[in-house]
Amino acid sequence: MSNYEQKIATVLRLYPAQVAATIELLDAGNTLPFVARYRKEATGGLDEEQLRGLSELLAELVKIDPRSVGVGLYQHDVSQKWKARHTPGFLAILNSPPYSA
């Protein structure tokens, strides 16, 4: 069981197995309404409101600040100096031929 599952189970007062099963179903691409209606046996009978709370808490726990890894930045968030220094090298990498051994 992951640390996230235990934290969510504690905060929402659910069984860890319910949380683990729900995370697995959501990771597989199932929607909250689908899980609430057709996968009650897997989640231990969680309703849509409980599933939404679980989903939102999970999203908060796994959220990473995009700026810390350089993802999610828009042009207006980056200085002109930074763009001038990094853009040519990045474009060169994108336009270079694939590596061959």
For residues 23 and 54, membership in a common domain is answered with yes
Residue 43 and residue 41: Cα distance in Å, rounded?
Answer: 6
- pLDDT above 60: residue 54: yes
Structural domain total, the chain:
2
Query: For residue 55, is it within any domain?
Result: yes
Tell which wins on pLDDT, 67 or 47.
Answer: 47
Q: What is the mean pLDDT of residues 50-61?
A: 87
- Whether 39 and 13 share a structural domain: yes
CA angle (17, 5, 19) in 5-degree steps: 40
Tell me the pLDDT tens digit for each residue of 67-96. 443 445 454 555 666 566 655 655 555 556
Is the residue at 101 inside a domain?
Answer: no
- Which pTM does this prediction carry? 0.59
Residue 2 has pLDDT above 50, yes or no: yes
Rounded average pLDDT over 40-65: 84
Region 54-58: mean pLDDT is: 87
The 3-state secondary structure of the chain reads: CCHHHHHHHHHHCCCHHHHHHHHHHHHCCCCHHHHHHHCHHHHCCCCHHHHHHHHHHHHHHHCCCHHHHCCCCCHHHCCHHHHHHHHHHHHHHHHCCCCCC
Domain encompassing residue 90: 66-95
Q: Is residue 100 assigned to a domain? A: no
Q: What is the pLDDT of residue 34?
A: 92
More confident residue, 80 or 9: 9
